[in-house]
Amino acid sequence: MNDLIADMLARIQNAIMRTKDTVVVLNTNVNREILEVVKKEGMIENYEVLDGNREVEVTLMYNGQEPVITKLQRVSKPGQRIYIATKDIKPIMNGRGISVISTSKGVMSGAVAKSKNLGGEFICKIW
């Protein structure tokens, strides 16, 4: 498997479609940083590294029966990296979603990157 980020996003998307409470994804530094951004934005409840350090269990968040996250979309891929400047960072779904950007100061949401005047690799969109 080459694209571990896309695998994580697909696993979360599939778990949401099946209304699962938790989902297990692979434990990588980038995956944990993306999950931290999504947690700070209030789109997942929590994530926890499981025993053995190979997997992370993500606890999904729901409003009643409706999931907080409805769609996860990978933007920058291993075959075609997409970079974005500060001035080009736009709100996702009129501010209801977030963009995840890998900057020189770490992985952060698009709004935080724009406030810090940073651009970087546009990893994914979540809404």
Main-chain phi, psi angles of 111, to 5 degrees: -65, -40
User: Structural domain boundaries of the chain?
Assistant: 4-67, 72-126
| Residues in Cβ contact with 104 at an 8 Å cutoff, skipping those fewer than 6 apart | 118, 120
CATH number of 72-126: 3.30.1490.10
**CATH entry 3.40.50.720 includes domain 4-67:** no
Task: Specify the DSSP class assigned to residue 76.
Answer: S
- The CA-CA-CA angle for residues 43, 105, 56, to 5°, reads 40
Residue-wise pLDDT tens for the chain (127 aa)?
Answer: 799 999 999 999 999 999 999 999 999 999 999 999 999 999 999 999 998 899 999 999 999 999 999 999 999 999 999 999 999 999 999 999 999 999 999 999 999 999 999 999 999 999 9
